[in-house]
Amino acid sequence: MTDSTRPAACWDLFCTVIDNFGDIGVAWRLARQLADEYRLPLRLWVDDLESFARIEARLDPDLDAQTIAGVEIRRWTPGSAQLCAGVEPGEVVIEAFGCRLPDDFLATMALCDPAPLWLNLEYLSAEAWVDDCHGMASPHPRLPLTQYFYFPGFTETSGGLIGERGLPARRDAFLADTAGLDAYWASLGLPPRVENETRISLFSYETPSLASLTDAWAASIAPVTVLVPEGRALAELRRVLGQPLGVPGGVARRGALAVHALAMTDQAGYDRLLWACDFNIVRGEDSFLRAQWAARPFLWHIYRQDEGAHLEKLDAFLERYTQGLAEPAAAALTALSRAFNRDEEVGDAWRAFEKRREALAFHARDWAEKQAAAGDLAGRLVQFVQNRLK
């Protein structure tokens, strides 16, 4: 690795890649936004460049250091010593999702005067306790350093949501361009829509619920087209449908259902997929949040945790998200979400959900507009830093 230093205003952001794309997806969006909109010299440290390259085609996973979109990207291996030797820590150091900083980097931080502002960027949650813990200080047990917990969230007293400037306008312009939409579908190997067709993106974890969901889609009166990027859900559908579904371009059919296998795309391409579809099934954190910015009805397949802790997080979000939504539609979304995340049969829940799609579509746009108006995570993060470095 070629060592270099940054001026004191540099920010360091560390991320370990978990479950392939979720954590790095969030970290990469945040890094790009901070570099682009706030002109911050930013150094992004990532342990798994091979997975990172699946969502960023410009990345060369064989290089230990490179710069893309104004962000310096560095390779690191958690637990290894001397990977950051000779690198001066930036003014702000961020651990994404509790990844452990390299020991040599942490020791160097402790020697800085003044010490860097050290933040732990936590996972997004709608739970009420997030507001109380956001910004909480945690002194290091041995070193003269203090870490601050930064919690993304849905309230004014939380850390906000990642969403770059101009995102709603880009989404709406894309959807208003009829010829462009036809060209987009053609680029995925799909013809223009037919009357009453429903198009769905599916990016979930494996679950037995997919079997009953595909049965319900296949039995639909109107055509249902499901687009599945390469990954865990596609592997599950191959098993459920008993068809190969090669990537890219593979198609499996059953009744009214057509399943199209898509190659992995970059983040901009995934955004367009979410915008173009009528309904999106998403997982983890990054795709979960981008589905909200898409202003489309969606189903969140939350990352499973021990003792059902993920179901509490799901319910906390549903309670917040369905505020202001008419009871029949709110009940339909809640029932489908709970059944899918509990690996239950979901055929009846899907049919009830379909009956409320118009109300859910209106609510999805209203929700996205309200969240965008509240301010984004990057802006709140910069303000948080400024307030503590005064």
Query: Which residues are the active-site residues?
Result: 23, 285
Question: How many beta carbons lie within 10 A of that of residue 222, not counting itself?
Answer: 11
Burial level of 311, CB count in 10 A (0-12/13-18/19+)?
middle
Fill in the amino acid letter for 24: I
- The candidate with the shortest Cα–Cα distance to 148, out of 94, 210, 112, 200, is 94
- 3-class SS at 215? helix
Question: How many beta carbons lie within 10 A of that of residue 246, not counting itself?
Answer: 10
Fill in the amino acid letter for 170: R
What's the CA gap between 158 and 132, in Å, rounded? Answer: 9
Quickly tell me which residue has 């969502």 as its tokens. Answer: 55
Quickly tell me which residue has 């939350």 as its tokens. Answer: 302
Positive or negative, the CA dihedral 336, 338, 340, 346 is: negative
What's the CA gap between 257 and 241, in Å, rounded? Answer: 11
Q: DSSP string of 295-355? A: TS-EEEEPPP-GGGHHHHHHHHHHHHHTTTS-HHHHHHHHHHHHHHHTT---HHHHHHHHT
Quickly tell me which residue has 């980097």 as its tokens. Answer: 105
Q: How far is CA 198 from CA 188, 215, 307, in A?
A: 16, 15, 36
What's the CA gap between 215 and 209, in Å, rounded? Answer: 10
b/e code 27-53 from CB counts within 10 Å (16+ = b): bbbbbbbbbbeeebbbbbbbbbbebbe
